[in-house]
Structure 1
Amino acid sequence: MNASPISPNTLMIRKLESSYSLGDEEKQALQQLPVQIKSIKPGADIVRIGDRPTRCCLILEGFTCVYKVTSEGNRQILALHVPGDMPDLQSLHLMVLDMSIASVSSCKVGFIQHDDIRRICERYPRLTATLWRETLIHASILREWTLNNGQREAYTRIAHLLCELVFRLKAVGLADGGPIHLPITQSELADATGMSSVHMNRVLQALRANGLIKSKRAELVVPDWEKLQEAGEFDPLYLHMEESDAS
C-alpha cells in the first residue's frame, strides 16, 4: 500500500526510533512540529543542487532519490529514500545543497522549517543526537552502496539493494510479509546500481527464475527472505537499527 496509515509526525518518530530510543517529552515535541504537506508528481525535483533551503523534507508516501548528473547528462542515483526518511537533514548545517532530490513515484512530502527543528533541538539535546545519528546512518548507507556498486556482481548487487529496501520499509511498518509496494522502475534501479536497463532486466529475470522474487507492476513479493539475503550477501549491520527492529 502506498498511503501511510499514520500521521506525518508519528511516521517521523517511528523512523527515528528504529535506531534511537526517545523519551516521552521528546516524542511529544516532535508530534508538535508544524509540517506542511505537499503532493509531488513522479520525476519532479523537490530540491535542486545549488539550492539554499530553509526547510527539511520528510517523505510521507512514495519513494524519492538523491542524484547527480554528469556534464553529458548521465544520472547517478546516490540514494533511495522511503517513507519516514528525511533525505536533506544536512541542509540544517550546509548552506548550499550539493545534490538534487527528486520523486521516483507520486509522493507526499512534509516540509519542516529549519528554525522549528533547531528550536526543539536546543530545548531537547537528545533530539540533536537523534538527528545527527540519522545523518550518520545515511552516510553508512552510502558507504555500503559504494561497495555494492563497485565490487559485487550484478546479480548480488540487485539482491542486496532489494534486501535493503525491504528492511528499511519493515522499520516503519510498511512491509509485513505480504506484497511490498516498490514504485521503482527498472531504469531507476539501473541508475542506482551503475547498470544499463537491458542488463537490469536480465538480472531481475534471473532473480525471478531462481524463485527469489516475484514482481508485478509496483509490487514485490519475496518468497524466501533468507535466500534473498544470502544471494545479496546482505548484512543489515550498516543500517544501525535497534535490535528489536532488525529481525
Structure 2
Amino acid sequence: MPANSSSPGTFMVRKLSSIFSLSDEEKQALHDLPMQVVPLERDQDIVRAGDQPSQCCLVLEGFTYVYKLTLEGQRQILALHVPGDIPDLQSLHLKVVDISLAPIFPCTVGFIQHEDLRRLYERYPRLTAVLWRETLVHASIHREWLLNNGQRAAYARLAHLLCELLMRLSAVGLVENDTFHLPVTQSELADATGISSVHMNRVLQALRADGLIETQGKQVHVLDLEKLKQAGGFDPLYLQLEDGVAT
C-alpha cells in the first residue's frame, strides 16, 4: 500500500525523512498511526508544566511554542515548532513534563497516544532510533538557541533564527522561492530572542533596510540567503539534515 501523501502524518514523515533514511514500510507505518486531529486557538495550552500526559502532539498546521514563566510571570519562549515536529516527545519517557506548550495563532495538531507509539516501536524497532534522533535534534536546536541568545547581538540573533526556520520549513516542503509563512508576532519573536519588542521592531527594519529580507503580513521572503547566513553566523550542522534537504 503506497504512503498517503495527504494523510495527517505527511509532515511527520517528511520531517523524519529529513534526518533519517526511512523505508517505504516505515513511512507507511507512520502514516497509519492513530491520531486525533484537533484545531486549537492561539495560546490554548496543549501541555502545562506539571502535567502527566498520556499522548504526544504532532504539529500539523501553524506553529507551536515551548515556554516557561518566571515567578513574576515573565515569559521566555524556549523553542518554536513547525509542521512535522513532535514538540513533547519527551513525555513518552518522562512522567511529569517541566515545560508548557501552546499554539502561536490558530493551529492544528494531531494527538498520538503513548501506547500507540510504544506499539509502533515494538513492530518497527528502527523507528525507535528515528524518534530518539528527533529528540536529540530538538536538544541540539535548544543548545544553538542558548548560544544565539547568549552571545550574539540582536541583529545576528534574528538573522540566525530566520535562517533556521527557512531550513526547517524547507525540510517539510513549506518554502517556495525562499519565502515562508511566519505566523509569529514581533512580541513573540522578542520573547524567543531575549530582546524587547521595541528593539525587535528596529532589528526587523534593519534587516529589511540592508536588503536581506522582505516582509508582507506574515510572509517572509529572504532576498539574500548567503548574506543572511553571514549576518547570523549560521551553520546548519546542528539541524542534522540529510544531504540534499537543506540548501
Q: Same fold (TM over 0.5)?
A: yes
Residue 208 of structure 1, CA deviation = 0.6
Show the counterpart of 1:145: 145
Show the counterpart of 2:82: 82
Please show how residues 63-142 of structure 1 align to structure 2 within 5 Å: 63-142=63-142
Q: Is the 8 A contact 2:166 2:178 kept in 1?
A: no
Query: In structure 1, what is the Cα distance between the partners aligned to 2:88 and 2:166?
Result: 22
Query: In structure 1, what is the Cα distance between the partners aligned to 2:144 and 2:80?
Result: 13
- Look up the equivalent residue of 2:212 and give its one-letter code: L
- Look up the equivalent residue of 2:182 and give its one-letter code: L
3-state SS, counterpart of residue 105 of structure 2: coil
Decide which moves more: 69-78 or 210-219: 210-219
Query: In structure 1, what is the Cα distance between the partners aligned to 2:7 and 2:82?
Result: 15
The alignment's TM-score, normalised by the length of structure 1, stands at: 0.96
The verdict on how the C-alpha distance between 1:199 and 1:42 changes in structure 2, with shifts beyond 3 A counting, is: same
The verdict on how the C-alpha distance between 1:178 and 1:235 changes in structure 2, with shifts beyond 3 A counting, is: closer
| Runs of 4 or more above 3 Å deviation | none
Query: In structure 1, what is the Cα distance between the partners aligned to 2:215 and 2:36?
Result: 34
Show the counterpart of 2:235: 235
Please show how residues 1-247 of structure 1 align to structure 2 within 5 Å: 6-177=6-177, 179-247=179-247
Query: In structure 1, what is the Cα distance between the partners aligned to 2:94 and 2:128?
Result: 16
Residue 6 of structure 1, CA deviation = 3.4
Query: In structure 1, what is the Cα distance between the partners aligned to 2:200 and 2:211?
Result: 17
Query: In structure 1, what is the Cα distance between the partners aligned to 2:11 and 2:156?
Result: 31
Residue 175 of structure 1, CA deviation = 0.3
Over residues 86-107 of structure 1, what are the superposed CA-to-partner deviations in whole Å (9 max), with x where a residue is unaligned?
Answer: 0000000001010000111110
Over residues 197-226 of structure 1, what are the superposed CA-to-partner deviations in whole Å (9 max), with x where a residue is unaligned?
Answer: 011111111001001111122111111111
3-state SS, counterpart of residue 246 of structure 1: coil
**Consecutive unaligned residues in structure 1, runs of 5 or more:** none
- Look up the equivalent residue of 2:26 and give its one-letter code: E
Over residues 138-193 of structure 1, what are the superposed CA-to-partner deviations in whole Å (9 max), with x where a residue is unaligned?
Answer: 00000000000000011011100011011100000000215311000000000001
Query: In structure 2, what is the Cα distance between the partners aligned to 1:43 and 1:220?
Result: 22
Query: In structure 2, what is the Cα distance between the partners aligned to 1:145 and 1:100?
Result: 17
Over residues 100-139 of structure 1, what are the superposed CA-to-partner deviations in whole Å (9 max), with x where a residue is unaligned?
Answer: 0011111000000100000010111100000000000000
Query: In structure 2, what is the Cα distance between the partners aligned to 1:7 and 1:83?
Result: 13
The verdict on how the C-alpha distance between 1:241 and 1:178 changes in structure 2, with shifts beyond 3 A counting, is: closer
Count, aligned residues: 243
- Look up the equivalent residue of 2:146 and give its one-letter code: T
- Look up the equivalent residue of 1:77 and give its one-letter code: I
Query: In structure 2, what is the Cα distance between the partners aligned to 1:107 and 1:81?
Result: 11
Identity value in percent: 67
Residue 42 of structure 1, CA deviation = 1.1
Query: In structure 2, what is the Cα distance between the partners aligned to 1:43 and 1:6?
Result: 27
**Consecutive unaligned residues in structure 2, runs of 5 or more:** none
3-state SS, counterpart of residue 106 of structure 1: strand
